[in-house]
Amino acid sequence: MSGANGATKSYDVIVVGAGHNGLVAACYMQRAGLNVLVLERNDYIGGAAVSRSLYPEFTYSNCSYVCSLLRPEIMRQLELPKHGLQIIPYEGGCTMMQDGNHLALYDNHDALRREISRHSKRDAEAYDRYSRDVMRQCKFIKPLLLREPPDPTSFKWRDINELLYIGKRFHNMGEERMYDTVRFWTMSAADFLDEYFESEIVKAHFAGSSIIGTALGPRSPGTAYVLLHHYMGDIDDTVGAWGFARGGMGAVSNALGSSFKASGGTIREAASVSKFLVRNERVVGVALDSGEELYASTVMSNMDVKRTFLETMDAGDLPSEFLDQVRKFKIRGSSGKLNIALDGLPEWTAIPKGSPCTRGDMHITDTLDMMERAYDDWKAGRWSQRPYVDMLIPSQIDPTMAPPGKHYMSVFVQYCPYELADGPWTPEKRKAFGDTVIDAIARQSPNFKSLILHAEIRTPWDIEREVGLTEGNIFQGELTMDQLLFNRPIPGYAQYRAPVRGLYMCGSSTHPGGGVMGAPGHNAAQAVLRDLKKVA
């Protein structure tokens, strides 16, 4: 920390951005014996994994809202449970239909089979095959998450070894699964789901996770992978399960912050970095908005690649082709968020009394066509008139989010453009966007509107401004095959090292991508530690 007289304490590493990946990386580096400083622009840590109170006695998970992908190895190694992290699986999920029917998902296999049978007996049994095939692919991908993606063009021993490792795992899957992998990584979610299911509602329900955070529709090639990406996590070894972090997603960041500080690390909030300082093609530190300069021979950016290289560096310090590719990297704003304080529990006309399916993710888009139409609106530069929502009421399970009898509702909304066709976002347009979403939900719940005490409405533009994510894209870059593995974020720069010596990337722009996984942070820290010979 810089003293009053300008004398500067020296750090081995400066991490720019206290998002969950920045904190994960900071924890690993600090624990390996480096002296790490984390700088955060906001006056609270967490980036997009935050819990904030914007209405008395309510806590919101303002951005990310559920947890599954956070790697269990990270939770364990960084002792996050000791620092207050608890993750509780949710009980099911549902899609409410326009005709008053619904599809529920239940944990219990027999209940689930009978439920899907109401819509299609065949689909109820095809579901097992679907789960099996998804599980086979998850088993292949999971071990790759916490590893640096090898560069296939490299002849370095390490890269060749890693390629062999992946090749061996790939081969060990067996022929059928190998064919499937290539299909999985390239198909559209709609085509993929069509191969298993006949019922529209079943397809619409499962397609939801193929578009979340993605500026693509269910019929866009590549979305099958996005669906898979949402299955890769687990809670207590139940693969594909999602849960609530007790206290909201800020609990993840707070546990990381606490673990980091406990191991001797330093965090400075309200410290906005204006520039990475480069001398002789080597990073030497950062300059803050205040003009203050902080020095370290290793600097790591938790910001997305566009923000890192286009907005926080001099173009003269970077190769032109690289910069051009950064410019072309796809980070498109496609989602908005409503956080709502409710005076009571909404009644849902489509859901039978006593069904636990409202204690999970709820949706109101009941056909793939309706989902694709919602995407069409986005392409035309307007928010979806019949939006896809991923809504949850965590306060049904987590007693810390709202007073007794009152409820916090998180509504993730797709699609919402970063730039509107009719000019910039205004407070009026933001309100109109919020009203569109609230009206859509109210069609399924007659008492919903009357329960609203407060609503925070966030457009991609707001998310970019408050969190710093370019265009408000939650994954720091689309999760499509052209931007995955050794091509993420930029071909040749997938191993967390920037083209400037000493500068590293640890955000979700890097492998294996977004979703509060912590894996990019972990892998980036390992890259630093290897370069500094702190690990074998």
Partner 1 sequence: MSVKETELPHFKQPLLRTPFHNRARELSQHDSFVAWAGYTTVDVFTTPEQEYFAVRNATGVFDLTPMVKYRIKGPAAGRYLNHLVTRDVAKLKVNRVMYTVWCNDNGHILDDGTLFRLGEDEYWLCSAERQIDWLLDAAIGYDVTVEEVTEQVAALAVQGPTSCWILKQLGLAGIEQLKPFDIGRFAVEGVEVMASRTGFTGDLGYEIWMPPDKAEFIWDRLMEAGRLRGIRAIGSQALNAVRIEAGFLMPHYDFVSAESTVRLGRDRSPLELGLDWLVDFKKGHFNGRRALVAEQARGVARRLVGLDVAGNKPAHSALLYTEESGRQEIGFVTSALWSPTCKRNIALAIVNAPHFALGSKVWAEIYLNRELVWERRMVQAEVVEKPFFAPERRRVTPPADR
| Interface contacts to partner 1, rule CB under 8 A | 104, 106, 108-111, 113-115, 121-126, 128-129, 132, 135-136, 139, 172-174, 176-177, 352, 354-357
In the structure encoding, which two tokens stand for residue 71, read together? 């790697």
In DSSP notation, 352-396 reads: -TT-GGGGSEEE---SHHHHHHHHHHHHTTS--SS-EEEEE-GGG
How many CB atoms within 10 Å of residue 473?
27
d(CA 230, CA 116): 21
Smallest separation (angstroms) from partner 1 to the CB of 174: 4
Smallest separation (angstroms) from partner 1 to the CB of 25: 32
Nearer to partner 1, 35 or 117 (CB): 117
Q: Phi/psi of residue 468, each to 5°? A: 100, 0
Smallest separation (angstroms) from partner 1 to the CB of 192: 16
CB proximity list for 242: less than 8 A, separation 6 or greater:
66, 67, 68, 89, 90, 233, 235, 360, 361
Q: How far apart are the first and last CA of the chain?
A: 31
CB proximity list for 147: less than 8 A, separation 6 or greater:
162, 165, 523
Smallest separation (angstroms) from partner 1 to the CB of 518: 25
Nearer to partner 1, 112 or 532 (CB): 112
Nearer to partner 1, 11 or 197 (CB): 197
> Are 516 and 369 a contacting pair, CB within 8 Å?
no
Smallest separation (angstroms) from partner 1 to the CB of 479: 23
Smallest separation (angstroms) from partner 1 to the CB of 355: 5
Beta bridge partners of 52: 60
Nearer to partner 1, 168 or 533 (CB): 168
Q: How many residues does the chain have?
A: 536
270-277, Cβ contacts within 8 angstroms, sequence gap of 24 or more: 270/40, 270/41, 270/42, 270/43, 271/39, 271/40, 271/41, 272/39, 272/41, 273/16, 273/39, 273/41, 273/312, 274/312, 275/312, 275/313, 275/314, 276/16, 276/301, 276/308, 276/312, 276/313, 276/500, 276/503
Nearer to partner 1, 354 or 424 (CB): 354
Q: Classify 424 as helix, strand or coil.
A: coil
Nearer to partner 1, 193 or 525 (CB): 193
Beta bridge partners of 363: 95
Nearer to partner 1, 122 or 268 (CB): 122
Smallest separation (angstroms) from partner 1 to the CB of 278: 49
Smallest separation (angstroms) from partner 1 to the CB of 127: 9
Smallest separation (angstroms) from partner 1 to the CB of 179: 13
> Are 296 and 269 a contacting pair, CB within 8 Å?
no
- Give, as one character, the DSSP assignment of residue 67: B
Q: In 3D, which of 426, 439, 81 has the Cα closest to residue 256?
A: 81
Nearer to partner 1, 178 or 535 (CB): 178
Nearer to partner 1, 114 or 282 (CB): 114
Smallest separation (angstroms) from partner 1 to the CB of 112: 8
Smallest separation (angstroms) from partner 1 to the CB of 177: 7
Nearer to partner 1, 53 or 108 (CB): 108
Q: Could you tell me where the beta strands, DSSP code E, fall in 155-289? A: 234-235, 238-239, 243-245, 266-268, 273-279, 282-288
Q: Phi/psi of residue 104, each to 5°? A: -105, 150
d(CA 22, CA 11): 16
Nearer to partner 1, 154 or 181 (CB): 181
Nearer to partner 1, 111 or 146 (CB): 111
In the structure encoding, which two tokens stand for residue 333, read together? 């704003």
Nearer to partner 1, 129 or 454 (CB): 129
In the structure encoding, which two tokens stand for residue 466, read together? 């408050």
Smallest separation (angstroms) from partner 1 to the CB of 402: 25
> Are 40 and 18 a contacting pair, CB within 8 Å?
yes
CA distances from 102 to 22, 194, 201, 349, 429 (A): 41, 20, 8, 10, 32
d(CA 139, CA 446): 43
d(CA 401, CA 117): 36
Nearer to partner 1, 205 or 307 (CB): 205
Smallest separation (angstroms) from partner 1 to the CB of 88: 20
Smallest separation (angstroms) from partner 1 to the CB of 412: 25
